[in-house]
């Protein structure tokens, strides 16, 4: 009879030890998952820190503004030249006794005006086209950069939220498991 009790006690002790070992393994697994979730969360946080600086784009915008100011200065200079030519025309019109000279001078002025007009128009068109192309390209790159940044930030926030949820769940499971383990250990210790 004593032998039966001893065998039953040893058998019960083996079952308890086996259960404790399995619970210990489960706690280790949850601890490992918790550490992995924390590491992944830090990795996502580092990626968010590496979002590119918008200063280069702002510098390009400033360069475009300077080009626009230069184009305005050229237009102002052309206007002054046209006004000067108009003054010359008035002076030449007063010299009525030199018709041949006046005729030649007017022809030269007309040619010069036409040449100046053509040059000014070509220059303005080229500058405007270049400015438009540069601005469109910079605007496209800025939009792409903003879209990429928004997408990366949204993805990182989503991952961070998922990892935070997983971390909280894992920590809750670990806490519950440790609590049950402590309760069972206490109960068995008291009953023993």
pLDDT of residue 25: 87
* In contact, 106 and 92? CB cutoff 8 Å: yes
User: Which range (31-35, 158-162, 187-191) has the least confidence?
Assistant: 187-191
pTM: 0.30
76-110: pLDDT as tens digits: 887 787 787 677 677 766 655 667 776 787 888 89
How much of the chain exceeds pLDDT 70, in percent? Answer: 86
* Distance (Å) of CA 22 to CA 62, 75, 103, 181: 67, 86, 113, 11
Domain count, the chain: 1
Q: For residue 158, what pLDDT is reported? A: 92
Comparison of pLDDT for 175 and 189, the residue scoring more:
175
Predicted local distance difference test score (pLDDT) of residue 164: 92
Mean of pLDDT over the chain: 82
Whether 51 contacts 153, CB under 8 Å = yes
Residue-wise pLDDT tens digits, 19-31 = 888 888 888 888 8
The interaxial angle of helices 99-191 and 2-49, nearest 10 deg, is 170
- ∠ CA(27), CA(184), CA(178), 5° rounding? 30
Q: Show the domain range for 140.
A: 2-191
Residue in 37, 58, 47 with CA at minimum distance from that of residue 173: 37
DSSP at 1: -
């Amino acid at each position: 009879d004593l032998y039966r009790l001893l065998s039953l006690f040893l058998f019960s002790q083996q079952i308890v030890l086996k259960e404790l070992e399995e619970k210990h393994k489960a706690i280790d697994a949850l601890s490992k998952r918790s550490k992995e979730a924390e590491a992944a969360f830090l990795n996502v946080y580092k990626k968010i820190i590496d979002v590119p600086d918008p200063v280069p784009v702002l510098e390009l915008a400033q360069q475009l503004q300077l080009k626009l100011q230069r184009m305005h200065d050229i237009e102002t200079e052309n206007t002054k030249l046209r006004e000067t030519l108009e003054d010359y025309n008035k002076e030449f019109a007063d010299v009525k006794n030199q018709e041949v000279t006046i005729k030649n001078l007017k022809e030269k002025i007309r040619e010069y005006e036409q040449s100046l007009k053509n040059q000014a128009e070509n220059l303005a068109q080229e500058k405007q086209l270049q400015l438009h192309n540069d601005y469109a390209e910079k605007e496209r790159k800025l939009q792409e950069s903003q879209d990429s940044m928004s997408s990366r930030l949204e993805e990182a926030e989503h991952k961070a939220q998922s990892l935070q949820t997983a971390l909280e769940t894992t920590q809750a499971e670990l806490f519950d498991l440790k609590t049950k383990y402590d309760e069972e250990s206490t109960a068995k210790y008291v009953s023993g």
